[in-house]
Amino acid sequence: MNNGPRDMRTLGQVLVERGLLTEDQLKSALVKESSKRQRLLHDANIGRSGRQRVSISGAELLASFDLKIQGEKNAVLDEDRIAKLLAEEAKLDYKKIDPLQLDMKLITTVMSRPFARRHSVLVLGKEGSKLSVAVADPFDVELLENLRRVTGFEIQPVVSAKKDIQRIITELYGFRSSVKAAALTMEAGHDIGNLEQLVQLKSVQDLEANDKHVVNAVEYMLHYAFDQRASDIHIEPKRDQSLFRVRIDGIMHNVTSLPKVVHAAVISRIKMLARMDIAEKRRPQAGRIKTGKGEMETELRVSSMPVAFGEKIVIRIFDPTVLMQDLSELGFFTRDYNLWESFISRTNGLVLVTGPTGSGKTTTLYSSLKYRASPEVNIVSIEDPIEMVVEDFNQVSVRTNIGITFASALRSILRQDPDIIMVGEVRDAETASNAVQAALTGHLVLATLHTNDSGSAMGRMLDLEVEPFLLSSTLTGVVAQRLLRLICQHCRKKTFLTTDQINVLGMKMPEEGQRKLPVYYGEGCPACRGTGYFGRTAIYEVMPISSKIVKMINAREDTKEIMKVARLDGMMTLREAAIKKLAQGLTTFDEILRVTVE
């Protein structure tokens, strides 16, 4: 293994032999090799001295030229590509490292940060007497031999890009050392004798939240969640440790655990950032943090709750790019898009959006209000809570403790001449009645309800004592929605529905000799953390209120009957919309069953 390609010239020659580079490309790159190396060395070692200094590998050097790969459209030779090649040459596996699957504790206990950094090596896992490690240079025999001797394990190397290994070393060791240092400080704090502790109580408390290691650890957690497109962060105290978990595309993932002693400090730090009362640990609290993420301001909604082993914190991340989208990107099919646009383009009437929590209702409403926003239109929203501050809207937050409810806010707003009103949620009879009154008197009212399908929304309004004739004369349309996970584009694979699956979906069986319907699924890869899904889209059930349905509402007819009539008029149910997305190759059979019911 000693003789593998390591320097830029021999690596380049392997690529030329494989027809991926031309002789000329390699030659002209080699001419600039030494000046390029100087520059990379300089950049990589800014602020480093002595043993901390890093060297530049042949792979890194070659990748820095951004050479075009022959015979592949728009493909550039990068470190990942070279790492794959090196893996082939060394007859090892190539691996794109997934930070979520790493064992922080194992990594940081097996080898020190300086060692890992100097040799670009990362421990991936342990199985019996074997230690799996990612290396950037599989031909570094000395390194592998050293690892075997020092750890006492049989070393199972895989090849990864040096930049990935280095990035993860920086993040993981940084986080781990912050947590460890914080734990030491905390334990020291606990060691103080009682009297002294009493005297120093205040300073110990300040230290908890302001300690620089705790600050770093919290910073890391937030960045991690942003990088992974998480919508929620959970920090949960258990008996002996604290769990750090995130929700991505609607599904929870465990990230790591923290020593129990650090838990309280991390919680205090977050509560401090959210301007909550740090001393109050027995009652649930809520707060918010504004943070810059990319170019836009992102709001974090923080809530604390005492549980059996301490305080649990949940942070919801309100990503503006998720909450506010172009109407055409929300996921409507053409017929439904045109209907929805007609509902929200009117000057009056009531439009109801229904679905459980987390079904994307707020995104639909914000995006629609944004679509209507202009200097001539006065848009007012009543929300509980305001999920994202939008300058174009006049937003009122419900605060029951000082008497601002949906109903009372709606009453005051009507005196301020609004054109469009968004009612965050219709929960009670008074709000329902005020919303209908507003729609009757020349306002466009968009409101959400907690029901499962569009048909039940009308039943719910009648349950809230709205007169049928008032409802039928104001209601323009009802929409039900859900969020479906999208198949990861990096690991999408084709398959065909089985006979059983076709039956479950109630689809027409293809006849003998007819072409089978191809569907797709994600095999799981690092880009999607092995889930096979990446991102979400909405599915909609859009019901326009026809004259037939008006009559049915007036006669208080059953929801099921109304749904039947709407379907005859061409309404697509949530299940049908989901099947259409399946046929388009966007989502999977399993996801349809998870999200929709027949």
Check binding of 429 to Zn ion (CB under 5 A): no
8 Å CB contact between 320 and 388: yes
- The least distance separating Zn ion from the CB of residue 253, rounded to whole angstroms, comes to 14
Choose the stretch contacting Zn ion; rule: CB under 5 A; options: 358-366, 457-465, 523-531, 578-586.
523-531
Residue type for 219, please?
Answer: E
**Angstrom distance (rounded) from CA 348 to CA 338:** 17
- The least distance separating Zn ion from the CB of residue 487, rounded to whole angstroms, comes to 8
Q: Looking only at residues 324 through 343 of this chain, which bind Zn ion when binding is defined by CB under 5 A?
A: none
- The least distance separating Zn ion from the CB of residue 249, rounded to whole angstroms, comes to 12
Check binding of 528 to Zn ion (CB under 5 A): yes
- SS3 (DSSP) at 487: strand
- The least distance separating Zn ion from the CB of residue 591, rounded to whole angstroms, comes to 14
Choose the stretch contacting Zn ion; rule: CB under 5 A; options: 160-168, 174-182, 425-433, 515-523.
515-523
Q: Which of 165, 423, 525, 579 binds Zn ion (CB under 5 A)?
A: 525
Q: Which of 480, 488, 582, 595 binds Zn ion (CB under 5 A)?
A: 488
Nearer to Zn ion, 106 or 251 (CB): 251
Q: Looking only at residues 366 through 425 of this chain, which bind Zn ion when binding is defined by CB under 5 A?
A: none
Choose the stretch contacting Zn ion; rule: CB under 5 A; options: 26-34, 63-71, 485-493, 500-508.
485-493
User: Are β-strands 533-544 and 475-487 bridged in parallel, bridged antiparallel, or unpaired?
Assistant: antiparallel
The DSSP code sequence of 106-128 is HHHHHS-HHHHHHHTEEEEEEET
- The least distance separating Zn ion from the CB of residue 342, rounded to whole angstroms, comes to 38
User: Are β-strands 121-127 and 533-544 bridged in parallel, bridged antiparallel, or unpaired?
Assistant: unpaired
- SS3 (DSSP) at 149: helix
Check binding of 490 to Zn ion (CB under 5 A): yes
Choose the stretch contacting Zn ion; rule: CB under 5 A; options: 188-196, 362-370, 375-383, 484-492.
484-492
- The least distance separating Zn ion from the CB of residue 282, rounded to whole angstroms, comes to 44
Nearer to Zn ion, 100 or 314 (CB): 100
CB-nearest residue to Zn ion:
488
- The least distance separating Zn ion from the CB of residue 80, rounded to whole angstroms, comes to 15
**Angstrom distance (rounded) from CA 214 to CA 435:** 47
Nearer to Zn ion, 465 or 590 (CB): 590
Which letter, b or e, does each residue of 7-16 get, where b requires 16 or more Cβ atoms within 10 Å of its Cβ? ebeebbebbb
CA 359 and chain centroid, separation: 14
**Angstrom distance (rounded) from CA 190 to CA 180:** 15
Residue type for 167, please?
Answer: R
Q: Which of 41, 243, 527, 550 binds Zn ion (CB under 5 A)?
A: 527
Interface with Zn ion (CB under 5 A), residue total 7
8 Å CB contact between 337 and 328: yes
- The least distance separating Zn ion from the CB of residue 98, rounded to whole angstroms, comes to 10
User: Are β-strands 379-383 and 394-397 bridged in parallel, bridged antiparallel, or unpaired?
Assistant: parallel
The H or E element spanning position 420 is strand 420-423
Q: What is the DSSP letter of 587?
A: S
Q: Residue 248 contacts by C-beta under 8 Å, 6 or more apart in sequence?
A: 228, 229, 230, 231, 529, 531
Nearer to Zn ion, 174 or 535 (CB): 535
Nearer to Zn ion, 126 or 490 (CB): 490
What does the binding site for Zn ion look like in residue numbers (CB under 5 A)? 488, 490-491, 522, 525, 527-528
